[in-house]
Amino acid sequence: MFDGLDVTGVGLFSPQLTWDVVRRLQDTTRMKLVLKGIETREDAELCLRHGVDGIIVSNHGGRAEESGRSTIECLPEVVDAVRGRIPVLVDSGFRRGTDVFKALALGARAICIGRPYLWGLAAFGQPGVERILEILNREFELMMRHAGVTSLVKLDRSFVVDRRRT
């Protein structure tokens, strides 16, 4: 798969990660190809042009560049660019059910959680992971009730206030 590709030092911001690599991955597998690290409308449009099956809006937890926009700030722009043609997931910083509510309201199809389940796993093993997921689900359901939303299909951007514009 990597014949003819220089993958030396390939990392988060490697110039060796090109659309040619994406094409080769697509040619190598029948699995869906989802790209992580998309933060802008322009990159989302490139993903569509190159036949990517899904996008994960991510700033890699801020470790790559922590002075940039948060993923929740990037999400609406990417969702608007994709216009429902492929799924948009989001990760980085989701710790509460209210975070999940906001991301879904802004158009994410799913939310990736990393640290919360790892904390549960490290502290209590599988029961800890299950408990973390129960807590997130309970908080999300409570937020849905507080907002008066009876179904995910009724959840939209009107439920999120952009304080930068007030």
The active-site residue, picked from 24, 36, 41, 60, is: 60
Whole-Å CA distances, 111 to 50, 83, 86, 99: 23, 18, 15, 9
| Helix and strand counts by DSSP (H, E) for the chain | 6, 4
Q: Which residues of 36-59 are buried (b: 16+ CB within 10 A; e: fewer)?
A: ebbbebebbebbeeeebebbbbbb
The yes-or-no answer on residue 146 being catalytic is no
Whole-Å CA distances, 17 to 3, 6, 21, 23, 50: 14, 9, 6, 11, 14
- The catalytic residue positions are 60
